[in-house]
Chain A
Amino acid sequence: MSPCVTKVNSNLAAVTFFAKTHAGDVCGSNGLPLTPNSIAILGRAQYLKTIEHPNLCEYLDIIRGKHERTIIVSEYAGAPLDEKIKICNDVKTILRIFYQVAEGLNEINDHGFACHNLEPSNILLDSQNNVKLFNYGLFYMTKQGEYVSFPIGNIRYLPPERLLGSQNNIKSDVWSLGMIIAELFLECQFWSSLKISNIIRKILSLSNVSKVFEKIAREHNCFEKYDNLNSDVRELIERCLSTSISSRPMPNDIINNKLFQENIETYAYKAPPKPEQLLLRCPLKQVYYLWQLAGGDVQTELKKEGLIRSEAPILSMPKIVCLNGKIGGSKRSQSHLADNRIVILRLNNLVERLRKVPSMAYFPLIHSPKFAVHYGAGMEQLPLVIRERDTEYQFYRVMLFSRMLKGYPFTRDMIIKEAQIDIPPLLRGAVWACLLDVIEDGSYERIDKVTPTSTDRQIEVDIPRCHQYDELLSSPEGHRKLKRLLKAWVASHPQYVYWQGLDSLTAPFLYLNFNNEERAFLSLYKFIPKYLHWFFLKDNSAVIKEYLCKFSQLTAYHEPVLAKHLNSISFIPELFAIPWFLTMFSHVFPLHKIIHLWDKLMLGDNSYPLFIGISVLKQLKSTLMSSGFNECILLFSDLPDIVMETCVVESQKMYSVTPKSICYRKNVLHEVDPGEFDISDISLSELQGEVSPRISANDLIDLIFNGKDAVVILDLRGSLEFSRMRVAGSINIPFTTVLLGDTRLESLGVPNLESILADKIVVIVSVVHENAVLFSKFLIDCGVSRVCVLHQGFNILHAVVPSVLVST
């Protein structure tokens, strides 16, 4: 690796412009505020980030600044043609440019839009004289220029039809290409001394000229050069400059012209030698991401170059404000004018930060245990927010995960293992999809997302209210995508219906996979049966009731004192927890919190969300304990700031120490049939009658053999039966001796019972289930935690082999 940091060539650059501000009216006809144009641009431009082609600069980021400022970060490789014009004087190089620009235009055309911004300064040439078009998406992202107040494209290279208002035709770009190539061959800039109005006049006057190239050549006294050109070349340029659009070639026709095809290797893209800096071999999106982590800030860079200038606000005060909102009298601010300067984002800081990274780390050998150096080890202990912002750590994580993702689905187990540590934010969408077992197979495309249905109205009123603080989700493009996803989900699930809340549930997936709707869809598609099985049935009341009942039971299991209090004030989950679970908290938390919550959720099973719910209660415990019903419900109507990290840690802790059968619900996707010693089929009414959860014989046995004293068994049978046969170490509390009204542990007459039960899972074993249920309530009232009842009672233990019972 080169130690010399100053010589790093950066190929990241930023340009900036202002989106048009809405004049006067701030609200549309629906009463909602008009979406700022910069947000609309931000949404549209996301698509450009997906375009990867050797002849096009890669789009990396779109940033909104103050006052509708829009900043575009993109690749910038090489130097612009207008700077290199002197060395582009041989036929071969010019034809190479001709060919490769056509390749770039062809790709743009394949993506269904037009460039309309082609000029020498936007054609970059690298060391091999490969072409990369720059800023080719400006026309597209601004919706044909609708969102900005300046004209797009250099007048000099615009064809007559563009001047007359026609747009969106790639053939207009072919004209621009023709002009640029003509200039190169004739070695002069056309109409260089004319004013803009005269240039327009000149171009329009070409409208009825049959041989434009020849006409221009004569006008600039270059007829000789024109005449000396190879006739095929001359012919092709002449066709590009044909005023009749239909006789102009498509970019693809230029590419396939025999002029190029006969000598294709001379003209085609030649990959430049790999940069010595390993960092520069990484995908640009990663480099840019790391650059930001290393302290890079595009706005600061633009400020340094004077592209963002701040003015005293008082100077921009209008002199007149009309009642209709129109303002006038303020001088047009110079700082708001379009400025097409390009600012290179220097990589020095990033390179310095990653200087100590060994070359090996760029190529993690995930399948060779011999070389498995765990980079970044030791950092796991740091808080997540710090890890997520540490350049070096994220570098290791991104390298590792990108490598693993390439091997998916075969590397799924490795991905799960690493995801347990943390998930790099840059790759979160893809990692989640892996955790959810998503395989992209093109199925999304085939789903009908267009046909109107009866749910459309509901979807349409919900979308403009769904996480609208987020720029992406509030953009018109975001609205369209969310609508398509929801319609697709409804269309592919005839057994389910759209419940309000599905929008919130979909939002995180769209947010992370904005440019990959299929992945967003399939993630949602897999997520719902895993965590919300049958929640979206038309009649989901039994499912929700069971869920909330299990939530109450688990609250009593982990937080008996709190559960008792909430129960005493009739603060039932039905009143506050439906939006929590129906949307997996995506309706109650902002996106940046949901993401960290779901990072862990994805690794747990269907019971995990219940523990999140309990940890939320736990965090608010002191307030809840001292409040009555009204205060409690008010607290949840406007959920206070929950510390997500604590919530995640807490819920994980509870999740990992709770035996699986404790969380048993009927309404989940059961992958294996339950055995004799598992819990199966508890009816809703039975469930609702029990304060404590049940535990399966399997889990109890497992606890007895492997639990290392994690369990205490309280046997409610009579002392005679107990002495005859019992689980070794269990404590006998004959039910007949229990005074249910006297809720003190001491009343049971077992010495040191409180300390015996502390930090243990307390399993109540009986032959009369009703007694066990009553006794569990008694224990909860005494404040004993982790109380559960053995499913099917003592008698099930007779059948267990090897026996856990002892007799005297």
Chain B
Amino acid sequence: MATTPRGGGTAQRPNGASQNKICQFKLVLLGESAVGKSSLVLRFVKGQFHEYQESTIGAAFLTQTLCIDDTAVKFEIWDTAGQERYHSLAPMYYRGAQAAIVVYDIQNQDSFQRAKTWVKELQRQASPNIVIALAGNKADLSNSRVVEYEEAKQYAEENGLLFMETSAKTAMNVNDIFLAIAKKLPKNDGAGNQGSGQGRRLAEVEQNRQTNNCCK
């Protein structure tokens, strides 16, 4: 199976003529500030890691395409600001999203609690079929771990979330978590073959909140 992430900016049609399906999904990253949301995206989209990744104000937008079998899955990723005060902006980004990664820092108990609140909020207010993944980031710093793997794993299972511990720094599980999400998203026929993205018109999406179909 091809799992190579492809080019940063625009959606590139994967090589190989057999791949004739493109699905587009809107994915949002949520979590406490400084847990590594932007770093995860940067690692996934550009394969880079910046030690001093700047804080995100408002939100940032990036895209990346993964290939699963004969389907190209294009993620339109909204990377949000972590500070609690920016909370009021969050619905603008998670509304209409088909997937979310809720990130916490394995060194920080508060960030895990915050992740749980995000999960609750998503379950209550986002699209009912949203695929949620929980990422325990900074796994390379397991020396100073305070959130146990088992604890998070159990919480994820109870809530039906995908779960991985990741490290944007070492790239551990970064592609994997996106891939796991891509696999779990429904890719029904005719899905997402449209030229432009589902998540693009936030204003429209707001009006059509009932849409929960993945690629339509």
Contacts and interface: CB of A to CB of B under 8 A. Distances in A.
B52 A468 contact: yes
A448 B86 CA distance: 27
B128 interface: no
Contacts of B92: 574
A634 interface: yes
B51 to A, nearest CB: 5
B58, B59, B60 — most chain A CB neighbours (10 Å) = B58
Interface string A461-479: 1101110110000100000
B54 A465 contact: yes
Interface in A605-628: 628
A570 interface: yes
B61 A637 contact: yes
Contact of B141 (A31, A569, A582, A634): A31
A637 B33 contact: no
A587 B140 contact: no
B9 interface: yes
B57 A587 contact: yes
Nearest to B83: A500
A32 B50 CA distance: 10
A570 B54 contact: no
A221 interface: no
Given A468-B52, A541-B88, A629 B140 contact: no
A33 interface: yes
B61 A633 contact: yes
A469 B61 CA distance: 23
A497 to B, nearest CB: 7
A466 B76 CA distance: 27
A316 to B, nearest CB: 25
A348 to B, nearest CB: 42
B25 to A, nearest CB: 13
Interface stretch (B12-20, B146-154, B196-204): B196-204
Contacts of A574: 58, 89, 92
B3 interface: no
A282 interface: no
B144 A501 contact: no
Contacts of A583: 57
Contacts of B140: 31
B96 to A, nearest CB: 13
Interface in A546-599: 569-570, 572, 574-576, 578-579, 582-583, 587
Interface string B29-59: 0000110000000000000000111111111
Nearest to B36: A31
Contact of A572 (B34, B54, B62, B202): B202
A631 interface: yes
A458 B83 contact: yes
Contacts of A628: 196, 200
B34 A461 contact: yes
Given A32-B51, A466-B54, A500 B144 contact: no
A33 to B, nearest CB: 5
A538 interface: yes
Contacts of A629: 196-197, 200-201
Contact of B52 (A29, A464, A500): A464
A634 B45 CA distance: 12
A628 B24 CA distance: 15
Contacts of A238: none
A248 to B, nearest CB: 46
Contacts of B124: none
A31 B57 contact: no
A501 B57 contact: yes
Contacts of A503: 55
B61 A575 contact: yes
B10 A631 contact: yes
A466, A582, A630 — most chain B CB neighbours (10 Å) = A630
A497 B85 contact: yes
Interface in A29-85: 29-33
Contacts of B144: 29
A570 B204 contact: yes
Nearest to A26: B51
A31 B169 contact: yes
B95 interface: no
B81 interface: yes
B54 to A, nearest CB: 5
A501 B141 CA distance: 27
Contact of A500 (B33, B53, B76): B33
B53 A465 contact: yes
Contacts of A30: 141
Contacts of B6: none
B138 interface: yes
B55, B56, B144, B202 — most chain A CB neighbours (10 Å) = B55
Nearest to A458: B83
A499 interface: yes
B62 A466 contact: no
Nearest to B79: A637
Interface string A280-323: 00000000000000000000000000000000000000000000
A630 B200 contact: yes
B176 to A, nearest CB: 21
A579 B201 contact: no
Interface string B83-114: 10110110010000000000000000000000
B63 interface: yes
Nearest to B92: A574
A328 to B, nearest CB: 25
Contacts of A572: 202-203
B58 A579 contact: yes
B77 to A, nearest CB: 10
A127 to B, nearest CB: 50
A29 B169 CA distance: 14
Contacts of B53: 465
A636 to B, nearest CB: 8
Contacts of A579: 57-58
B57 A570 contact: no
Contact of A570 (B60, B61, B81, B203): B203
Contacts of A587: 54-55, 57
A154 B91 CA distance: 66
B76 to A, nearest CB: 7
Nearest to A583: B57
A627 to B, nearest CB: 10
B200 A461 contact: no
A569, A570, A587, A633 — most chain B CB neighbours (10 Å) = A633
B33 A630 contact: no
B200 A500 contact: no
Nearest to A579: B57
Nearest to A469: B52
B63 A630 contact: yes
Nearest to A536: B85
A631 B196 CA distance: 11
B10 to A, nearest CB: 7
A689 to B, nearest CB: 15
Nearest to A635: B9
Contacts of B58: 574-576, 578-579, 582
Contacts of B85: 497, 499-500, 538
Contacts of B81: 500
Given A31-B141, A500-B86, A629-B197, 11 more contacts: A32-B52, A461-B33, A474-B52, A500-B83, A503-B55, A574-B89, A578-B57, A579-B58, A630-B76, A631-B10, A637-B62
21 contacts: A461-B33, A464-B52, A465-B52, A474-B52, A499-B85, A500-B33, A500-B81, A501-B57, A539-B88, A569-B200, A570-B202, A574-B92, A575-B58, A587-B54, A628-B200, A630-B196, A630-B197, A631-B10, A633-B61, A637-B60, A637-B62
Top 6 closest pairs, chain A to chain B, by CB:
A461-B34, A578-B58, A579-B57, A468-B52, A629-B200, A633-B61
Interface of A: 29-33, 458, 461-462, 464-466, 468-469, 474, 497, 499-501, 503, 538-539, 541, 569-570, 572, 574-576, 578-579, 582-583, 587, 628-631, 633-634, 636-637
